[in-house]
């Protein structure tokens, strides 16, 4: 496990990188989208996936869009090492508080994760036209799409990221969501190396 401070657009981040398997769990906004870093850590620990989280240990939380997350050394290492990325994000759409959006460029992998999350008590959506445009994660500059096989951007509502909707420390991801993503990652690992 390697930690490193990086500065992106004047915001200071603490990155935590653990190189392991070819599938990577990424939490770019662990400092502002509560529970995403914790969820990524737990899934990576249970599956042997590679892990990279960004948190903000000091100052007011700053949300930098994924497409502007500069290719700092930890992110470059992560993207070089992994073949497929699962990027965890948070959404706060009041009209869809029980919906998980599965965007990103790897549509077959998105469907695998959605199927694995079907019993999580949340509704996974994979049809791109049903995903709000800002949550689709399709831009080529988005790190989720920059590994060999692209990736899946999971946009999770608050209650799918933490059992404490009011900010608290530590964040504890819901067990059914953790189990669902773990099952999906394991299925993807079994398929790793196959043509998508």
45 assigned to some structural domain: yes
Strand-strand pairing, 50-55 and 11-18: antiparallel
Q: How does pLDDT run across 79-97, given as a tens digit for each residue?
A: 999 999 999 999 999 999 9
Q: Could you give the C-alpha distances from 173 to 36, 100, 107, 162, in angstroms and in order?
A: 8, 14, 25, 4
Decide if pLDDT at 195 tops 70: no
The total number of structural domains that make up the chain: 1
Which band of pLDDT confidence, cut at 50, 70 and 90, is reported for residue 70?
confident
Q: Could you give the C-alpha distances from 182 to 8, 10, 49, 123, in angstroms and in order?
A: 30, 34, 10, 17
For residues 118-125, average pLDDT: 95
Tokens standing for residue 87: 């990027």
Helical segments of the chain, H only: 36-47, 73-81, 107-116, 158-161, 175-191
Residue span of the structural domain in which 169 resides? 2-191
Decide if pLDDT at 61 tops 90: no
What is the predicted pLDDT for the residue at 172? 87
146 assigned to some structural domain: yes
Decide if pLDDT at 165 tops 70: no
What is the predicted pLDDT for the residue at 128? 97
186 assigned to some structural domain: yes
Q: Is 42 left (phi over 0), alpha (psi -120 to 50) or beta?
A: alpha
What is the predicted pLDDT for the residue at 168? 59
Please provide the average confidence, as pLDDT, over all residues in the chain: 93
23 assigned to some structural domain: yes
Q: Could you give the C-alpha distances from 34 to 31, 55, 156, 165, in angstroms and in order?
A: 7, 10, 10, 9
Q: Which of 85, 71, 76 is nearest to 23 (CA)?
A: 85
CATH code for the domain in which residue 162 is found: 3.40.630.100
What is the predicted pLDDT for the residue at 192? 73
Q: How does pLDDT run across 101-113, given as a tens digit for each residue?
A: 999 999 999 999 9
196 assigned to some structural domain: no
């Amino acid at each position: 496990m390697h930690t490193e401070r990086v500065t992106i657009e004047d915001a200071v981040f603490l990155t935590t990188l653990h190189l392991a398997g070819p599938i990577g769990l990424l939490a770019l906004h662990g400092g502002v989208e509560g529970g995403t870093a914790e969820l990524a850590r737990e899934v990576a620990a249970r599956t042997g996936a590679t892990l990279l989280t960004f948190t903000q240990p000091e100052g007011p939380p700053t949300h930098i869009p994924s497409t502007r997350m500069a290719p700092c050394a930890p992110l470059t290492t992560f993207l070089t090492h992994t073949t497929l990325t699962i990027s965890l994000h948070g959404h706060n759409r009041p009209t869809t508080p029980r919906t998980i959006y599965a965007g990103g460029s790897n549509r077959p992998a998105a469907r695998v994760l959605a199927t694995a999350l079907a019993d999580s008590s949340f509704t996974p959506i994979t049809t791109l036209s049903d995903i709000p445009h800002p949550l689709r994660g399709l831009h080529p500059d988005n790190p989720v799409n920059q590994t060999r096989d692209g990736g899946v951007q999971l946009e999770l509502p608050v209650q799918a990221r933490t059992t404490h909707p009011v900010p608290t420390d530590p964040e504890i991801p819901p067990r059914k969501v953790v189990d669902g993503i773990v099952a999906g990652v394991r299925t993807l690992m079994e398929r790793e190396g196959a043509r998508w």
